[in-house]
Amino acid sequence: MSSGFGFSGGTSRCFNEWQIFLECYTNAETSRPSDCALYADDYLECLHHSKEKAKVSKIKAEYLKKLREGSIEELTIKKNSIPEALNLIEKK
């Protein structure tokens, strides 16, 4: 949240990225708003995790492809592990 307040009353998780973007955007030395595009991307990624989700989706697709081909064995994953949390594997 750009207000800087999270749901629990503290600083929101993306407030730092928002401040960096805002500092760039309002800086007198910034000649074009497009100069701050990388900071805007960082802020939006922090909010929505769209690049992270796309990467996880590609990893999962490649894993399932190799599993079908038989070139790798099925992984044994501990409950509540990172691959399970990212939905890389099916929960049983």
- Is 6 domain-assigned? no
- Is 5 domain-assigned? no
Let me know whether 33 and 55 are in one domain. no
Alpha-carbon distance of 73 to 60, in angstroms, equals 14
- Is 68 domain-assigned? yes
Q: Give which of 28, 43, 87 is closest to 61, Cα–Cα.
A: 87
Q: Provide the token pair at 85.
A: 């949390």
Let me know whether 41 and 57 are in one domain. no
Work out the pLDDT band at 3, boundaries 50, 70, 90: low
**Vertex 51: Cα angle to 46 and 57 (nearest 5):** 130
- Is 92 domain-assigned? no
- Is 9 domain-assigned? no
Strand partners, 11: 5
Instruction: Say how many domains are in the chain.
Output: 2
What are 17-62's pLDDT values in tens digits?
999 999 999 999 999 999 999 999 999 999 999 999 999 899 889 8
- Is 10 domain-assigned? no
Please state the pTM of the whole predicted model.
0.69
- Is 91 domain-assigned? no
**Vertex 20: Cα angle to 40 and 82 (nearest 5):** 70
Domain extent, residue 22, equals 15-48
Say which amino acid occupies 42: D
- Is 31 domain-assigned? yes
3-state secondary structure of 4: coil
